[in-house]
Chain A
Amino acid sequence: GAGVSQSPSNKVTEKGKDVELRCDPISGHTALYWYRQSLGQGLEFLIYFQGNSAPDKSGLPSDRFSAERTGGSVSTLTIQRTQQEDSAVYLCASSLGRLGKTQYFGPGTRLLVL
């Protein structure tokens, strides 16, 4: 596709359940980022993938959060045993990596944990 796509666009789940959020970056972009945006807040960095390098996981808030990127393209952010405070918009972005720093964002997944 022409831009970054994310699915689902909205997710409602019950506390304690696991959720998976998907990100399809722009074709050819080697860098992929996940951010969390709580209501009325800025973007909180979660994790960054660059090519085959080890990801920068320094922003993951707890061990309930994990992410993987298969084949250098699609990425999945997994939240285990969701808590109400996990409710937020999860944004994915991609960039050309070392060839370009500009990040292009997807529309986000709105997660609500009841």
Chain B
Amino acid sequence: GQQLNQSPQSMFIQEGEDVSMNCTSSSIFNTWLWYKQDPGEGPVLLIALYKAGELTSNGRLTAQFGITRKDSFLNISASIPSDVGIYFCAGQLGTGGFKTIFGAGTRLFVKA
């Protein structure tokens, strides 16, 4: 079945540093999504990518949909303490249904 490999598993950074995380897959996806989950809450969508090569920003966040449609990355610039949380990538095939496959998550810790 489809699987997403997300890395790194965790990151410990200093406030103000930039962060980069990525996802790869052996399968092609038509949509890539990046979510953030705060403790005790459900994931919240950060960025959605619909076209190969697409680069999209949301404030300090930037994500790209890989040309091969098998990978995506998320960058966070000038990290702040509230960036702490778990970041998930997710892929959707989008054909005949909207089954979504999630990566295992990247746990981000920011030291003030």
Contact = CB atoms under 8 A, between A and B. Distances in A.
Interface of A: 4, 31, 33, 35, 41-45, 48, 50, 56, 58, 91, 93, 95, 97, 101-108
B11 to A, nearest CB: 15
A45 B101 CA distance: 7
A45 to B, nearest CB: 6
Nearest to A91: B42
Contacts of B105: 41-42
B25 interface: no
Contact of B102 (A42, A56, A107): A42
Contacts of B31: 101
Contacts, number: 56
A45 B100 contact: yes
Nearest to B94: A101
B45 A42 contact: no
A56 B94 CA distance: 14
Given A41-B104, A43-B43, A108-B42, A56 B48 contact: no
Interface in B21-73: 31, 33, 40-45, 48
B92 interface: yes
A45 B99 contact: yes
A56 B99 contact: yes
Given A35-B102, A41-B104, A42-B88, A105 B97 contact: no
B98 A31 contact: yes
List the 5 closest A-B pairs by CB distance, nearest first.
A105-B42, A42-B104, A43-B102, A42-B102, A42-B105
A51 B94 CA distance: 16
Contacts of B103: 42
Contacts of B40: 107
Contacts of A104: 45
Nearest to A92: B42
Nearest to A93: B42
Contacts of A95: 98
A36 to B, nearest CB: 11
